[in-house]
Amino acid sequence: MRRITISLPDDLVVALERETRLRHSSVSAIAREAIEQRLGLPAGVPRDLAFVGIIDGEGGPSNIAEHLDEYLATTWGTDDGETPGNA
């Protein structure tokens, strides 16, 4: 597991600390859970990251850079947190 540092506004820090006390949990655990939920990831399950240029085994489309956002939305989900196949 990697360690990162983030900056949060004071009101968010207060809310996060309150949540740690209420749930008898750590800041890291609550932050991981919130990030997983926001990104639409199943808790604790690593997400596969394919090499974007190798989509079809033959090198993928030549214009993948132009359509990267669409490809990732189709493959990983949309901005609303839904992932393909999850209703």
Distance of alpha carbon 48 from alpha carbon 23, whole angstroms = 30
The predicted-structure confidence for 13-70, as pLDDT tens digits, reads as follows 999 999 999 999 999 999 988 888 888 877 666 656 555 555 555 555 666 667 777 7
3-state secondary structure labels for all residues of the chain: CCCCCCCCCHHHHHHHHHHHHHHCCCHHHHHHHHHHHHHCCCCCCCCCCCCCCCCCCCCCCCCHHHHHHHHHHHHHCCCCCCCCCCC
Whose tokens are 């990267």? That residue is: 68
Could you tell me which residue, 87 or 50, shows the higher pLDDT?
50
Confidence of residue 87 (pLDDT cuts 50, 70, 90): very low
